[in-house]
Chain A
């Protein structure tokens, strides 16, 4: 079945540690996104990528980094500079670039907590 796979489902970070969240898609989509979801706050865009080897900052990129070396993969690193990382992180993809306003397909999310 085609879809988006996020791993791990739960992740714990120690102070000063960088952690990486995995996102893989087999939908052959060009565009991929990372959102952060906090209780009662909706979703906020961290980074997005329209094509391999290219990515753009979203609304809350500080303290995060991404790479897009392969079409299928868009990992998110939460760095130690992110002082409030506890949240539910959602990865998404769309067939073409975001400018087309297409349907987003979401993964099932990773819950990151700070120890």
Chain B
């Protein structure tokens, strides 16, 4: 079946460091891919998405490119802030969404 694998956390960075959170997927066909973010004690919010191969989703300085050849959708940000500390979920979907286990990001001043 469909599945999503994310790098394990926590990822600990200093402010202004470069961020990469790896996400790979297994799926039949060509699903849409998403990154959601969850701040402490809250629900998830859509961060960005891509619907077909080579699409790049971007929002709030975060980017991810849909790579069909490597079945990946890695999340990147050039300069993280303390306020980016949260749990990040990669997800794929045809009908309902399949989520990865989440990666916690901790950014220190």
Contact = CB atoms under 8 A, between A and B. Distances in A.
Interface of A: 4, 6, 33, 35, 40-45, 48, 58, 90, 92, 98-99, 101, 103-104, 106-109
Given A90-B43, A90-B44, A109-B43, A104 B97 contact: yes
A43 B99 contact: yes
Contacts of B44: 43, 90, 92, 104, 106
Contacts of B97: 43, 45, 98, 104
Contact of B89 (A6, A42, A109): A42
Sorting the interface of chain B by its residue count into under 10, 10 to 19, 20 to 34 or 35 or more gives 20 to 34
Given A98-B96, A101-B32, A108-B43, A43 B51 contact: no
A83 B94 CA distance: 31
Contacts of A40: 101-102
A40 B10 CA distance: 11
24 contacts: A4-B43, A6-B43, A33-B96, A35-B99, A42-B89, A43-B89, A43-B97, A45-B96, A92-B44, A98-B93, A98-B95, A98-B96, A101-B31, A101-B32, A101-B94, A101-B95, A103-B46, A103-B49, A104-B36, A104-B46, A106-B43, A107-B43, A108-B41, A108-B42
Nearest to B94: A101
A45 B94 CA distance: 14
